[in-house]
Structure 1
C-alpha cells in the first residue's frame, strides 16, 4: 500500500497521483502539463499504463484529464470513474485536446521537413480520445462505490467546476485500513452557477492543492469575509467594461472554455438584467471559441444536483442564466477575424485561458498594443505561458513570430478565480472534525507548495509535506513513510533519456561555435538590435534551463551521498 506523486508535485499542472493497494493500481487524475511544467516533466509516463486498473477523475479540466487518451493509447484497459457532468465535459474536451495535438504535430512536422528533420507524432489522436471515453463509469455525488476488494471511493462536490469533486478513498490491505482524501481543485465560495465546496469529516491522509497557498485574493468592495455575492462581482466587472468602452476600446478576456467562460457569461447576464451599464444597455459580448459553445450547451442542460440556489431560481423562472440577447457565439473562422475590424467596442471572451493556443492569440495580437483596450485575466496563469508574461507586466511579447507592444490596460478578476485562496484552503482543511495524521501538499508551484505545507504545520500543528516529483511513500504507517521506488523506468523513458544525453554531448561543439560567433559579431557591431535581442533571449532561456537541471542533478547527487 503506497503512493507516488507523478504529476503536479511542486507544479500546478499535470495532476497524476499513483496508488498501489491489494495488487491494484489507481491513478487520481491523469492530466496534461502546461507551460514550464511540460518542459520539466516531459510527455512520457513513468509507469506502465497497461498495469493501471483504475483512474479516479476529480474533474474535466485538461490539466487533470488531458492525458487519459494517451494512457489508453499506451495500453490502459481499466475503468475511469467520474461524475456524470465530468464525463459529459470530457467528451468535448478530450476531443478538442486531440484536435490540438494533431494540428500542432502537423505544424511541427512541416517545420521539421523544411529543416531536413523527422516528422512529429501527436501525443494522441481523435480516435484515441474517442476510445478513452468508452472506459468511463459514472457515479453520483455522495455515493460510496466499491471498485475492487478493499478499495472504495466517494465523490464530494469540490465547488470548482460543474461536476468537480474531492475524492474519499478507503483502502484495506492485509488488515490495515487507511482513508485518503484528495482535494482536487477546491473552488471559491459564492462562485457563479455551481455550489460551494462541500466539507469532509475525516481522513488519515489528505492530498490537497495549493495553487494560491501563498496569497489571499483581493476582495472587491462589498465582499464580506469569504462571501462575494454575485452583485459585487458583477459591479467589479461592469466598472472595468464601462471605463474601457468610454475610451472606445475592446475588453478581451482570455478564459478557459469550460467553467470560467460560463461563469463570466452569468455575470454579464446579471449586469444586463440589473442595468449596471445604463450607457451600454445592449452590451455586445462575443464568445469566440467552438469548445466554449459546446461547453455552454452542457452547462445549460446539466442542472440537477450541480447548480446553486441562485442559478436554480432563474431556471425555475424559465430564465437561462448564461444566455442573453446581446450574446453572439462565434464558430466560423471568418467571423472571428471580423471581430478585429469592428468599429464599435465589444467584449471578446476567447480561449485558451493561459493564451498558449487558440483564437485568443489573434485577439491579443490586435488589442495588446492599443492603449484604449483592456485585457482581463480570469484564471490562473502558469509559469512559462504567454498569459503569465502579460500578467507579470511584460512590455513586449511575441505572438506568431511578431513582437507586439503591450500598451493596453492589464488586470485580473481574482474574485472570480476558480481556486480557493489561502484562507479558503485553510477553511477547507480545518473543516475536518478529526485532524488528519498527514497532509501532502501538491498542485502548486514549488515555493508555494512548500510554503503552504510549512504554514499548515505551524498554524494547525499537523504533519505536512510538499512532495517532489516521483517521490513515493508507504501508506502502511498512517504517517506515510518515504520509500525508495524499486520500479525501473519504462523502456521508452530510458531510451529518450539516453538519446537526449547523447544529443546534448553532440551539440556541445555547435553551441560553443554559435556563442563564439555571437561574441565576435557583437564586438564588430554586425548584429542588428532585433537579432541581438533574440540571441540574448535564447541564451537566457538556455542558461535558465541548464541552471535548473544542474540544481536538480546536484540536489539528487547530495541525496545519494
Structure 2
C-alpha cells in the first residue's frame, strides 16, 4: 500500500485549501480553494500540480471560497469527475461560486478600465480567472452526501462526512484507505466551529485516525466569552450612534452574516441597542440566508426553539436586504446612523469596498471586523493600523474607529481545537497542522505536543509526505 499526501494550499497560510491524496489506484483532492492573500494570489493562476483529468474525485468540506473557489478553474482545465459535498454545501456553493465568477469578471473589467485611464501597462492581461459561466459548469458534477453515511469514492477509498459546526453544511472528512486487508484512516478537520454557538449544532467527534490534518486559524489564542463580546458589540453600536456615524461590518456571506443577524435581533429585543436600520448589502448573503431558512434540520436547540415559537432569528423590524445595485448605492445617502453588513469578509471585493470608501475617513463611524483577516488583504491592512488605504483605486486616510470582535468567529480557538482532538481514542502516527499563519501553526503544535505528546508538524507549500 502506498499513500501520499501533498499540501497544495493552506500550508502555513490561511486560504487556498487544497490537499492532494494519492494511492496506488486513486488520486483525489480534499478541497479546492482560492487563495485570497494578495501576495499569494498568483498561485491561483498557476497550472495544477497534476493534470485535472487525472483526478478521480474532489471532496469539499464547505462552501467558503477559500475551500471551493478554484473548482471552476479545475473544471475549465479538464476535470470532469464527481465533486462530493453535503446538500447544504452544494446549495450554497452554487451561489458562492457563481458570485465569485461574476466578481472575477467585474474586477478584471474595472482594472482594465482603470489601467487604460492611467495609461498603465501591466505584466498580465486583465482577464478573469474564471467567469460565472465557468462556475456554473461545476454544478452538474456535484454529488451530495449525508452526514455520518459512509460512501465509496473508489475501490480502495471510502469517505464519511461529519458535521464540523463551522458553517451551514460544513464537514470534517474521514477517509478510509484499504488494500489487502490493510487499512489507514486519515481525518481532515476542515474548518472547525465552536461549541455552544448559535444556529448550528456542535462539531462531531471522530474516534480513530492514523493521520490527522487539522486547521489552526486561531491556534494561537482563546476567544473571549461570547456574552462579554455581545456587551462590547452593544457598546460599539451605541457609541457610534451617539456620534452620528455608521457601523460598517465586513462579513462573510456564509454563517457570519446569519450569526450577526441572530445577535443583533437579540440585542434589539432586549433593548440593549436602539431600533435602527440594519442593511444586509450582499446579494449572496441574502440568498444564503434563504437557504438557512429552508434547512431547520441543521439548527441547534436554541434556534429550533425560535422557529417553533413562530419567530425567526433572521427577521426583525428595521432589517433591510438590498439585492439591487441601486438599493446598495442608496445606503450611501442615509442620513441617520445605521448598521451596514456587506461582503467580502476580508474586504477583497464586493460591495464592502464602497461602504469603506464612504466611511473609513469619518471619525464618527466604526469599521467593525468580526472574522479572520488574512495577511495581505485590505482587511488585514486596516486591522494592522495603517494610516491610509487604497480602495477602488483611490487613497483614503483612516480616521474611523477600527474594532475587532474575534469571539464571533466561526473558527475554533485553541482550547476548542484541542477538545476536538480529544475525541480520538488512539495515538495517531502524525498530525499535520494547516490553515493557519506560522505563529498559529507553531502555537497549536506546542499545545498538541504538550497535551498529547503526538508527533505534529506544519507542512510547507507543496510538501509531500508518505503515509504508509
Of 156, 168, 178, the match for 1:172 = 178
Of 277, 291, 294, the match for 2:287 = 294
Corresponding residue number in structure 2 for 1:518: none
Give the Å deviation of 1:292.
1.1
Corresponding residue number in structure 2 for 1:245: 241
Give the Å deviation of 1:425.
1.1
Q: Which has the higher helix share?
A: 1
Q: Write the deviation string for residues 4-44 of structure 1: whole angstroms up to 9, x where unpaired.
A: 11111111000000001242111000000012452463422
Give the Å deviation of 1:181.
0.2
2: CA distance, partners of 1:71 / 1:21: 21
Matching of residue 360 in structure 1 with residue 352 in structure 2? yes
Aligned length, in residue pairs = 462
2:11 aligns to what SS in structure 1? coil
Corresponding residue number in structure 1 for 2:446: 454
Give the Å deviation of 1:471.
0.9
Query: For 1:345-356, what aligned pairs fall within 5 Å after superposition?
Result: 345-356=337-348
Query: For 1:128-527, what aligned pairs fall within 5 Å after superposition?
Result: 128-219=134-225, 228=226, 233-277=229-273, 280=274, 282-304=275-297, 306-476=298-468
Of 80, 89, 92, the match for 2:92 = 89
1: CA distance, partners of 2:410 / 2:145: 23
Q: Write the deviation string for residues 374-410 of structure 1: whole angstroms up to 9, x where unpaired.
A: 1110100000011111111112112123221212211
Q: What's the C-alpha RMSD, in Å, of the aligned pairs?
A: 1.7
Q: Which has the larger radius of gyration?
A: 1
Give the Å deviation of 1:175.
4.1
2:267 aligns to what SS in structure 1? helix
Give the Å deviation of 1:93.
0.4
1:196 aligns to what SS in structure 2? coil
2: CA distance, partners of 1:375 / 1:121: 31
Matching of residue 4 in structure 1 with residue 6 in structure 2? yes
Q: Write the deviation string for residues 334-371 of structure 1: whole angstroms up to 9, x where unpaired.
A: 32222222221010101111111111111111111111
TM-score (norm 2): 0.95
Corresponding residue number in structure 2 for 1:517: none
Kept in 2, the 8 Å contact 1:450–1:466? The answer is yes
2: CA distance, partners of 1:370 / 1:321: 31
2: CA distance, partners of 1:333 / 1:125: 20
Kept in 1, the 8 Å contact 2:34–2:44? The answer is no
Bigger mean CA deviation after superposition, 447-456 or 246-255: 447-456
Query: For 1:529-548, what aligned pairs fall within 5 Å after superposition?
Result: none
Corresponding residue number in structure 2 for 1:548: none
Corresponding residue number in structure 2 for 1:18: 20
Give the Å deviation of 1:283.
2.4
Kept in 2, the 8 Å contact 1:14–1:37? The answer is no
1:459 aligns to what SS in structure 2? helix
**Unmatched segments (≥5 aa) in structure 2:** none
**Unmatched segments (≥5 aa) in structure 1:** 220-227, 477-561
Q: Write the deviation string for residues 238-260 of structure 1: whole angstroms up to 9, x where unpaired.
A: 22111111111111111011111
Give the Å deviation of 1:167.
0.6
2: CA distance, partners of 1:174 / 1:442: 31
Give the Å deviation of 1:106.
2.5
2: CA distance, partners of 1:329 / 1:26: 39
> For the structure 1 residues 312 and 405, does the alpha-carbon distance in structure 2 shift closer, same or farther, using more than 3 Å as the test?
same
Of 18, 26, 34, the match for 2:36 = 34
1: CA distance, partners of 2:415 / 2:40: 29
Kept in 2, the 8 Å contact 1:12–1:37? The answer is no
> For the structure 1 residues 79 and 256, does the alpha-carbon distance in structure 2 shift closer, same or farther, using more than 3 Å as the test?
same
2:137 aligns to what SS in structure 1? helix
Kept in 1, the 8 Å contact 2:25–2:156? The answer is no
1:447 aligns to what SS in structure 2? helix
2: CA distance, partners of 1:189 / 1:347: 27
Kept in 1, the 8 Å contact 2:186–2:211? The answer is yes
Matching of residue 54 in structure 1 with residue 57 in structure 2? yes
> For the structure 1 residues 246 and 401, does the alpha-carbon distance in structure 2 shift closer, same or farther, using more than 3 Å as the test?
same
> For the structure 1 residues 409 and 401, does the alpha-carbon distance in structure 2 shift closer, same or farther, using more than 3 Å as the test?
same
Kept in 1, the 8 Å contact 2:248–2:366? The answer is yes
